[in-house]
A and B are shown apart, each in its own frame.
Chain A
């Protein structure tokens, strides 16, 4: 059975080998709630769900291995770094904090997130950034280093999605179609090629303006700081800005 193996002044380590998620998360919550540690390292993670879910304190959680679904769901503050791939619904309804994945992530990354940021080094699955929204001073940001499956940014209501396309051979277009279907807020920046037929009906395209560039540059620098790479080369683009054509996409649907 796994044990709490090492306790340093500021860092706690958990060995998740063979541990059921409920016990792992109870231990993690216990570490975080004790309040005297700034960093928790979880080793040998293998599919355990809900790591970091509902945690509300600023703490850095490093996950070595492959965390299961709903990584950091409803999270409000912590920073999770995954040294491996993430599965589905990572950053689900994230309120603040960040999730950094040194690999790829599954479906519905950042579902309904309204704050904080999620950075994925490689590709993501279906419906990434669906229903992202912003509120007051909160503006969620999702950075995808590779490409995405269909319905990227579906029903998007706020925040920023940046897709860098770094995993794709030069000249190949992005994989997703139905991008931004139902989008009525926020903005998506796509680096690389995308055809008009890949976009949802509610989406318009434009060249990024000066303010867009500042945003893209900041996020690219954040990406490079996490995963390495050449910011200048990435920023050479080309970038397309996708924005909602209508703030009320279904306003004319009804007879009053």
Chain B
């Protein structure tokens, strides 16, 4: 069938600069560039270009420019180009449109309408270069009250299992299968070096990464891939995956072609078969059933580590979170509308769920009202782009945040959103060894620890500016936030006052 879809990108090759070295041919995972031996010429099939800029950045002479195809449809605010092109693609394939990474639609980004406070005169700022600034965070349920033996000063109250992290930023769930082993190893090593955790996602833990298991959140999802007693014992925390922000309410299908021998061994399935994670856990149809799985995992791990639950931010998130606390979870991870994915139906990614800022504030408020906020830690996920977003999330009530997109961008991701194809030219979302070896875990871990170090310094600077010397003092302290350009309803949900008030 003749495709009516135009190329998304135009590739300009400056022939004066091109030295026919064929770097672009080798670098492109999508086979855009090819070398014509007879003509001694490099030709580019623009229709395959995804705009990831790998060739542009690796061209030694800077001969390449990739820009959007200026296909000029007749102006139409309703039938915008994406709507037209989606219809064409479905008319040609009859399939569910897939996409990767997070929601790219212009929903309001509340982080950009919240501003932080700083001290002036009456409450002096603190200089983080001179004074100790505490970013350490303890994840896990906290007791109602703490009793200390006055004679010995020892803690009498039994403490539920706690996990200390040095920065309030964890790497979010990304499975081996959706990303390459080199990327997961980069995340694991960086987590170890920075004193935080990475998350296995629902694909199990590769045997070579068990040495990093003390920094791993091990996920248990509906397909139970890679889950056995050893995996649960190895991880630092156990996370039940109920949902994810990019595709609330549906499961995951890892196509057979991505199930390489190593992915298969890690997921504990035969190579080449589809890894299907059903939408629900079939042993969970209620809060009571969730409690059953939480305590099955606590039994299996001897009550030695926090067991958390990850959900997508949806309309009734506050009530759901309340149920999760009462089911016995030690932490709740909430993944918002802009959370990323290796593959999701586009319609789910772009239209289902609510923004993390509103979900987080609603959950924190609800749990406080019910007097159960101390019984869980909250990890906010889905759309954290910088250290200011981290701090705003903590002021809205998060104990820590999960980042995934930011981590992948640190490793080279240019958000072309084609993860689901497995052809990632940056070697991130692929199982093709020719591509995946582009990420060197030594360098990858360094890029990630650099990012965390930079963000930590910025967080300390911002905290110091507020006159606060410990993250704990900011946690859930919404008086440190003000809203700019939000309506009353939004401010009520967020629990923040307008700037100037």
Question: Which secondary structure dominates where chain A touches chain B?
Answer: loop
Closest to B94 in A: A255
Q: Which residues of B in the span 18-59 have a Cβ within 8 Å of any Cβ on A?
A: none
Q: Within the complex, which residue of A22, A114, A134, A184 is in contact with B276, where a contact is CB–CB below 8 Å?
A: A184
| Residues in B whose Cβ lies below 8 Å from that of A184 | 273-274, 276
Closest to B343 in A: A254
| Residues in A whose Cβ lies below 8 Å from that of B95 | 252-256
The answer to whether B96 has its CB under 8 Å from any CB of chain A is: yes
Assuming the contacts A50-B296, A133-B268, A135-B268, asked whether A127 and B98 have C-beta atoms less than 8 A apart, the reply is no
| Residues in A whose Cβ lies below 8 Å from that of B96 | 253-255
Number of B residues with CB within 8 Å of any CB on chain A: 43
The answer to whether B97 has its CB under 8 Å from any CB of chain A is: yes
CA distance A92 to B273 in the complex (A): 22
Closest to B272 in A: A247
Contact between B269 and A158, CB atoms less than 8 A apart: yes
- For the complex formed, measure the closest distance between the CB of B373 and the CB atoms of chain A, giving whole angstroms: 25
The answer to whether A67 has its CB under 8 Å from any CB of chain B is: no
- For the complex formed, measure the closest distance between the CB of B261 and the CB atoms of chain A, giving whole angstroms: 11
Assuming the contacts A93-B224, A158-B270, A255-B96, asked whether A56 and B276 have C-beta atoms less than 8 A apart, the reply is no
The answer to whether B253 has its CB under 8 Å from any CB of chain A is: yes
Stretch at the interface among A70-78, A141-149, A164-172, A212-220: A70-78
Q: Hey, what's the 0/1 contact readout for B210-238 against A, CB within 8 Å counting as 1?
A: 00000000000011100111101000000
The answer to whether A178 has its CB under 8 Å from any CB of chain B is: no
Closest to A134 in B: B270
The answer to whether B93 has its CB under 8 Å from any CB of chain A is: yes
Q: Which residues of B in the span 260-303 have a Cβ within 8 Å of any Cβ on A?
A: 264-265, 268-270, 272-274, 276, 278, 282-283, 292-293, 295-296, 299-302
| Residues in B whose Cβ lies below 8 Å from that of A70 | 283, 292-293, 296, 299
- For the complex formed, measure the closest distance between the CB of A142 and the CB atoms of chain B, giving whole angstroms: 15
Closest to A250 in B: B253
CA distance A74 to B293 in the complex (A): 11
Q: Hey, what's the 0/1 contact readout for A105-130 against B, CB within 8 Å counting as 1?
A: 00110011010000000000001001
| Residues in A whose Cβ lies below 8 Å from that of B292 | 49, 69-70, 89
- For the complex formed, measure the closest distance between the CB of A151 and the CB atoms of chain B, giving whole angstroms: 8
Closest to A249 in B: B274
- For the complex formed, measure the closest distance between the CB of B213 and the CB atoms of chain A, giving whole angstroms: 16
- For the complex formed, measure the closest distance between the CB of A88 and the CB atoms of chain B, giving whole angstroms: 7
The answer to whether B421 has its CB under 8 Å from any CB of chain A is: yes
Question: Which has the most chain B C-beta neighbours within 10 Å: A54, A127, A248, A252?
Answer: A54
| Residues in A whose Cβ lies below 8 Å from that of B93 | 255-256
Contact between B299 and A53, CB atoms less than 8 A apart: yes
Contact between A89 and B283, CB atoms less than 8 A apart: yes
Closest to A93 in B: B224
Contact between A50 and B273, CB atoms less than 8 A apart: no
CA distance A172 to B157 in the complex (A): 61
Assuming the contacts A185-B270, A256-B420, asked whether A54 and B299 have C-beta atoms less than 8 A apart, the reply is yes
CA distance A184 to B269 in the complex (A): 12
Q: Which residues of A in the span 149-185 have a Cβ within 8 Å of any Cβ on B?
A: 154-155, 157-158, 182, 184-185
Contact between B274 and A131, CB atoms less than 8 A apart: no
Q: Which residues of B in the span 89-113 have a Cβ within 8 Å of any Cβ on A?
A: 89-90, 92-98
The answer to whether A79 has its CB under 8 Å from any CB of chain B is: no
Contact between A255 and B299, CB atoms less than 8 A apart: no
Q: Which residues of B in the span 296-330 have a Cβ within 8 Å of any Cβ on A?
A: 296, 299-302
The answer to whether A136 has its CB under 8 Å from any CB of chain B is: yes
The answer to whether B256 has its CB under 8 Å from any CB of chain A is: yes
| Residues in B whose Cβ lies below 8 Å from that of A35 | none
Q: Hey, what's the 0/1 contact readout for A19-55 against B, CB within 8 Å counting as 1?
A: 0001001000100000000000000000001100111
Closest to A70 in B: B296
The answer to whether A228 has its CB under 8 Å from any CB of chain B is: no
12 of the cross-chain contacts (CB-CB < 8 Å) are: A54-B232, A74-B300, A76-B229, A127-B282, A131-B224, A135-B268, A135-B270, A248-B273, A250-B253, A251-B274, A254-B98, A255-B92
Known: A76-B229, A134-B269. 7 other contacts (CB 8 A): A53-B296, A53-B299, A111-B283, A131-B224, A135-B265, A136-B268, A248-B256
Chain B interface residues (CB < 8 Å from chain A): 89-90, 92-98, 222-224, 227-230, 232, 253, 255-256, 264-265, 268-270, 272-274, 276, 278, 282-283, 292-293, 295-296, 299-302, 345, 420-421
